[in-house]
Structure 1
């Protein structure tokens, strides 16, 4: 049975004839005129080397613009690798994407104007912009896998989604001895968690089964700390070079996904020089690192150190024969130069 219009994409996303599907995630481009050309070349290097079926941009995509015209020019440069190669791509927003000059709603319309962009603004009533589900289909046009995009908002200073809270968020939330780490980053709102839950239930009703999926959002969850504290049990791998900058407020999205049982991978950007991943409570979680040369890199104050060492993206390989088994690895630009 065909899916309702809400689940349709501009370009149908299908498994290849060989039964595989490859996703390349790239985060924190922070695309500016200064190093923008270098970032675009790096993206092209990864795309040409890995040949993805879908590209995901996981937030903090364009930076440094002061008007809509500048944003449009910089975005055109950033997405040119996918557009020229006619590869479907999608995005979510990060904490730096919202600006006083160009709102996320305005930006979203520009993103969606590109022929190969399959992102969606999502329901108007939800906080933020870019809350959506992308079905990956088999040859019968049946959903076999999916990608959730979630807007993880900004921070307590630049909230664009007002909270009905009368107090001082800094004073009342950011404690001197926090549960995990002191962080003023915003959180995925309860309305978004409800939307994920209800949409997941509706997909199961329509398809007669749960659809295994990957969820991307920019700001990591507080549960990411569980992997660091239990490296052996969670099969931790990759690099941990900076504190996990999760919100001090637990959004509940992990608990919802854990209870529903369909999201089997959750990956964030945000922390440019963290590339670790592991498995906690049956969900594969971790970081993507940073692709952008206008973004900070590793140990910048260490003379002689290669600050660009971790520039790269994250691959996800899914097989039609077992879409619950999501295989993922970091790939670095230096691997292909």
Structure 2
């Protein structure tokens, strides 16, 4: 597979089509090495050809730890870049907890990988704000169909990797041991959101993408933060209009950084979408902000197991319309099985 590379144009812009529409595809957890499962690429290609998106987010865990050197890292990235590059579709990534699993032997960390991603002609990642935790935190405006002002915005967050062994001499036994968004990331979002509002004259509606889900994903599923059960989930289905499946834990960090609260206060984020938990595909409306998963795109990563192992492999599609009050109109999963890929 040959990938055309070129220096990323920092002046690249996203813009609504002349009909006022815009479509985003989220791929998650492609998570393979230089010898990628061909079904993963086939799923990406088929989704792009059928949905014809204007923008793609690969939302973390792009590659895994089996790669042994820089050449293999580059090939693993090539594998997932080529579907968009060959079709001229603009795209970006967020980092997940597994993307640096190989770093101890390859020497290629997130910053060096981001340089590779940014080298592709149609990639829109940028290094991110200095002094803010993580790699590649970013805000990408989508101009309206007349190119006069921002109609929508995309937030990309690096949700980190793993919790430290201990804090203040206390370990995390009994807790989820993944990372959490840091206070400086919340502050960066909050202040940048205000600047966007000042520049455009209104809060710019937006979607946020991060690999590891917020704790509120769990609260929403059970319509309560504590002692959720099947009965409370039935309440949650009605209260939060939940659709889709939950087949494993919401594997989040041990601390709540307050990002959801900040987004609720700002009023611009219409949805937060994660991956990480490969066999969760649900989405719901949590106090005015949609929280949702995309199932694993990668056939090389774990699935449901048994005969249904690949049933939830897929991608999430977002439909935007600049004439709609919230602009964000709809989202749905598309599955590999619908394309005859199993």
With structure 2 as the length reference, what TM-score do the two structures score?
A: 0.88
The corresponding residue for 2:117 is 111
After TM superposition, give the deviation of residue 226 of structure 1 in Å. Answer: 2.1
Matched residue count:
312
The corresponding residue for 2:233 is none
After TM superposition, give the deviation of residue 315 of structure 1 in Å. Answer: 0.4
Q: What SS does the corresponding residue of 1:74 show, helix, strand or coil?
A: helix
Report if aligned partners of 2:133, 2:182 keep a CA contact under 8 Å in 1. yes
Change (3 A) 1:268 1:166: closer
1:211 aligns with 2:204: yes
- Distance of 2:169 and 2:39 partners within structure 1: 42
Q: Which moved more, 1:36-45 or 1:219-228?
A: 36-45
- Distance of 1:146 and 1:297 partners within structure 2: 32
Report if aligned partners of 1:36, 1:294 keep a CA contact under 8 Å in 2. yes
Match for residue 299 of structure 2 among 293, 300, 320? 293
Match for residue 180 of structure 2 among 184, 187, 193? 187
1:265 aligns with 2:265: no
The corresponding residue for 2:5 is none
After TM superposition, give the deviation of residue 141 of structure 1 in Å. Answer: 3.6
Match for residue 254 of structure 1 among 251, 260, 263? 260
- Distance of 1:315 and 1:141 partners within structure 2: 26
1:244 aligns with 2:250: yes
The corresponding residue for 1:77 is 79
The corresponding residue for 1:37 is 38
1:136 aligns with 2:136: no
1:50 aligns with 2:43: no
After TM superposition, give the deviation of residue 42 of structure 1 in Å. Answer: 1.2
With structure 1 as the length reference, what TM-score do the two structures score?
A: 0.89
Q: Which runs of 5+ in 2 are unaligned?
A: 1-8, 223-235
Q: Which runs of 5+ in 1 are unaligned?
A: 1-7, 159-164, 177-181
Q: What SS does the corresponding residue of 2:238 show, helix, strand or coil?
A: coil
After TM superposition, give the deviation of residue 175 of structure 1 in Å. Answer: 5.8
- Distance of 2:219 and 2:39 partners within structure 1: 35
- Distance of 2:80 and 2:157 partners within structure 1: 21
After TM superposition, give the deviation of residue 166 of structure 1 in Å. Answer: 5.9
After TM superposition, give the deviation of residue 207 of structure 1 in Å. Answer: 0.8
1:334 aligns with 2:340: no
- Distance of 2:250 and 2:192 partners within structure 1: 29
Misfit runs of 4+, over 4 Å: none
